Amino acid sequence: MEQVTDHILAAARKVIAVHINYPSRAAQRGRTPEQPSYFLKPSSSLALSGSTVERPAGCELLGYEGEIALIIGKPARRIGVEDAWSHVEWVTASNDLGVYDLRYADKGSNLRSKGGDGFTPVGPGLIAADAVDPAGLRIRTWHNGDLVQDDTTEDLLFPFARLVADLSQLLTLEEGDIILTGTPAGASVAKPGDVVEVEVSTTTAGTGGAELTGAGLATGRLVTRVEEGTTPFADFGARPKTDDLQREEAYGSREAAGLAAGAATVSVLTPELKAKLESVCTATLSSQLRKRGLNNVSIDGLSSTRPDRRIVGLARTLRYVPNREDLFKTHGGGFNAQKKAIDSVNEGEILVMEARGEKGTGTIGDILALRAQVRGAAAIITDGGVRDFSAVAAMDMPTYYSNPHPAVLGRRHIPWDTDITIACGGTTVQPGDIIVADSDGILVIPPALAAELADDSIAQEREEVFIAEMVQQGHSVDGLYPLNAEWRARYEEWEAGTK
């Protein structure tokens, strides 16, 4: 079998990487793209098997991603999918390394986070592309000897031929160019002293079960060792920095990163309690809250894009402060608090925004609302404006808002901080509070009261079914609503008879 050599690395004028391509990775990331998207890695990042990669000084999160690499054998320009695979000469293994500590610096281009020297090892062996079915390949990654990634190409979001054809529409793929085709779930973080190995092999069958002519072929293990960098970053460029969100993304989950569960994930909102709260109206819950002396627990003055929906979920919070131009420069751009909140909201949670009732700009638009929906958010609640209103209103996820407005966030707001106590629509909301909303309004329920509140609300609505029946039969509401002693006895008799 031919091997990846310095000559092959030198022939690569472009290294192109795909963001998300495996269903397992899409599920882990909480987003499934409709079309492939790409970024470039410099050819100087290429390295051979057995090389050592440096985790830059001051960096914490050197992520590894086992990938299948395609090496172009003949130029491709505006080719079709049916012809694309013939332009690939070799298949091999690669490791798409990068430091999450610099992810913020280049706003999505990944230049510094993924472009470091040695950040794209490939090899060691080359599998002839014309000997295999591209839908019948297997990618495996080992971290310090433990198998951490194991997936196949049978159900990719974007088959390899589609990637080649798509890229060729706007740029010429030249002989020697390398395409990294995405990583499956299981990518994580390597530390100095660690060894990461990646191998590509053929499976016994491709799409539809067809036997492969190249069954049993493998690249051998691509070996990369990690060492600690000793040269600090200069102070005239971006410096490494990270936070718990980047740690979660790098390791794949909060648990894997060794992080405690977020405040909004520790809650009494069990599936059973959630079902109970979904079964009762906010009007009933409000009266039960009032009985307990809680009169200031409604988020007021908002409309809903889906007034037909009843939602129950845990509050996550985001606070905007009034725009001040010098502070917007430091807090408004990049991966700011707004984007962090959207990008970390979890399944069933409700993002509640404090916008001070300011109606003169948008606080959420279609792209970020879509991101929240893809991550499984139950709803978004803002006491400010909504941009791209028609698109947001068309989404399945409800958004509660003050008014539509075309202006961007920076006209009136700075996204400041997340998961803190905020004010929204005239009431206080804390992370982990239980939000219940329907066509009558939005309530904030203290978690400690939720269970008894749900049970008492169910009992109240049962009484009201009886009262409605009695009114329908022609009885006066005097003594019936609310129940006096006589009517309560009749209700208990009715209740016993309906069980």
Q: What is the CATH number of the domain that holds 322?
A: 3.50.30.40
DSSP 116-179: STTSEEB-SB-EEGGGS-TTSEEEEEEETTEEEEEEESTT-SS-HHHHHHHHHTTSPBPTT-EE
Q: Is 324 within the bounds of a domain?
A: yes
DSSP 388-423: SHHHHHTSSS-EEESEE--S-GGGTEEEEEESS-EE
Q: Is 41 within the bounds of a domain?
A: yes
Q: Would you say residue 33 has pLDDT above 90?
A: no
SS3 261: coil
Whether omega before 124 lies within 30 degrees of 0, making that bond cis, reads: yes
Tally Cβ neighbours within 10 Å of residue 255: 11
Residues 72 and 125 in one domain: yes
User: What is the helix, strand, coil percentage profile of the chain, to 5?
Assistant: 30, 30, 45
pLDDT digits (tens, 9 = 90+) for 106-164: 877 899 999 999 999 999 999 999 999 999 999 999 999 999 999 999 999 999 999 99
Task: Report pLDDT for 266.
Answer: 44
* CB 146, CB 186: distance < 8 Å: no
Q: Which residues pair with residue 15 across a beta bridge?
A: 41, 178
Number of domains in the chain: 3
Residues 100, 110: Cα–Cα separation, whole Å: 9
Residues 232 and 280 in one domain: no
Task: Report pLDDT for 263.
Answer: 43
Q: Is 203 within the bounds of a domain?
A: yes
pLDDT digits (tens, 9 = 90+) for 429-471: 999 899 999 999 999 999 989 999 999 999 999 999 999 999 9
- CATH number for the domain that contains residue 183: 3.90.850.10
Residues 328 and 402 in one domain: yes
**Nearest one of 254, 336, 343 to 30, comparing CA atoms:** 343
Q: Token digits for 246? A: 């980047």
Q: Is 262 within the bounds of a domain?
A: no
pLDDT digits (tens, 9 = 90+) for 181-200: 999 999 999 999 999 999 99
Residues 78 and 140 in one domain: yes
Query: For a pLDDT cut of 90, what percent of the chain falls above it?
Result: 77
From 214-223, 261-270, 420-429, 484-493, the region with the lowest mean pLDDT: 261-270
Total number of residues shown for the chain: 499
Residues 474, 480: Cα–Cα separation, whole Å: 12
Rounded mean pLDDT of the chain? 91
Residues 88 and 68 in one domain: yes
Q: Is 258 within the bounds of a domain?
A: no
Residues 230 and 370 in one domain: no
Residues 367 and 404 in one domain: yes
Residues 194 and 340 in one domain: no
Q: Is 333 within the bounds of a domain?
A: yes
Find the largest Cα–Cα distance for the chain: 96
Residues 321 and 195 in one domain: no
Task: Report pLDDT for 213.
Answer: 43
Q: Of 218, 251, 284, which one is at a domain's C-terminal end?
A: 251
Residues 456 and 492 in one domain: yes
Range of the structural domain that residue 337 is part of: 271-450
Q: Is 484 within the bounds of a domain?
A: yes
Q: Which residues pair with residue 399 across a beta bridge?
A: 380
Q: pLDDT grade, residue 264 (50/70/90)?
A: very low
Residues 258, 251: Cα–Cα separation, whole Å: 9
Residues 275, 125: Cα–Cα separation, whole Å: 55
Q: What is the mean pLDDT of residues 77-88?
A: 97
Residues 294 and 146 in one domain: no
Q: Is 256 within the bounds of a domain?
A: no
Q: pLDDT grade, residue 215 (50/70/90)?
A: low
Q: Token digits for 494? A: 């009715």
* CB 370, CB 388: distance < 8 Å: no
Residues 434, 448: Cα–Cα separation, whole Å: 10
Counting beta carbons within 10 angstroms of the beta carbon of residue 69, is it exposed (0 to 12), middle (13 to 18) or buried (19 or more)? buried
Residues 446 and 462 in one domain: no
SS3 89: strand
Q: pLDDT grade, residue 329 (50/70/90)?
A: confident
The angle subtended at Cα 86 by Cα 81 and Cα 91, nearest 5°, is 105
